[in-house]
Amino acid sequence: MLREIITPQTQDYTVKIPLEYLNTKVEILVLPFSENKANTPLYQGKTSDLRQLLKSYPVGDRNSSEIDQQISLLRIELAWHEIGMVLYTQQRLDEALVAYRQLLGINSEDESSWDMIGYILEEQGKLDEALVTYRKLLEINPKHEDAWHSMGCVIEKQGNLKKSLVAYRKQLKINPKCDMAWHSIGCVLKKQGKLDEALTAYHKQLKINPEHELAWNSIGIVFGKQGKLDEAMAAFRKQLDINPKHDEAWNNMGYALEKQGKLGKALDAYRKALKIEPKNEYAKNNLDRLLKK
């Protein structure tokens, strides 16, 4: 999830999208931020009372005429969806679940609500419940590719790598050009120790999106595990060509250089990683360890 609280000075603002969301559909919301995180409990009255519903949450300063306009424009379902998103961005996850379930009480086949409920449950670590939710979504829409990917992620977290591959491949069958499905498959194969097959999956990802830095990082890691340090460094360099400020790539490059005995260059790489991200514990530990040699 990406969350930023900013005070924009112009209408133009650049958003850095997390790597895992590249080439997938995302929803970008711009909402007013309230320092008072709306401690008002969820409205418990009739769902038809949209005025009270909208007044209960600080989605911006609204006067009576604006609320009346909102009533005329929004259906009850959209109001609950709006409230669910506000609560989610505030990390009030249990209340967000209540909002989405209220929406499902009105429209039991609302795909976005099932999707968000599954995502929240997964974020809470309630993997079994998340899995049930994604299965329900797939009953409604068997071709919901994001649901197949989310199901694969949950099953992978549960440790069933074989079944997670089935889910990711279902996603690819629906959308053969989904590069992140190939990435997820590569990661599972890497966990299974099938390094050559993992490399094949990452290269299929790059065939779809040659500039996907996460794929180059993963290829470098696999080559490192195989002891192919020159190939690993070539992959990390490619990643750094795409994004010179990727601290993990500099840390990985440092580790490969250290394995080759190029200690001075390794130190420089670790320091570059920490200059970009001072909280990178891997780079900090590697630097400290190397300085003690």
pLDDT of residue 96: 92
44 to each of 104, 137, 187, how far by Cα in Å? 16, 26, 45
DSSP state string for 251-275: HHHHHHHHHTT-HHHHHHHHHHHHH
35 to each of 38, 43, 127, 174, how far by Cα in Å? 9, 20, 32, 43
- The pTM assigned to this predicted structure is 0.72
pLDDT of residue 18: 59
Residue extents of the structural domains in the chain: 211-293
> What is the C-alpha to C-alpha distance for residues 148 and 166, in angstroms, rounded to an integer?
9
Q: Which residues of the chain have pLDDT under 50?
A: 1-2, 32-48, 50, 58-59, 70-73
The single-letter DSSP state of residue 20 is G
pLDDT of residue 188: 97
pLDDT of residue 144: 95
> What is the C-alpha to C-alpha distance for residues 287 and 144, in angstroms, rounded to an integer?
45
CB within 8 Å of 18: residues ≥ 6 apart = 1, 2
pLDDT of residue 32: 47
Choices 3.40.50.1820, 2.60.40.10, 1.25.40.10, 3.50.50.60: CATH for 211-293: 1.25.40.10
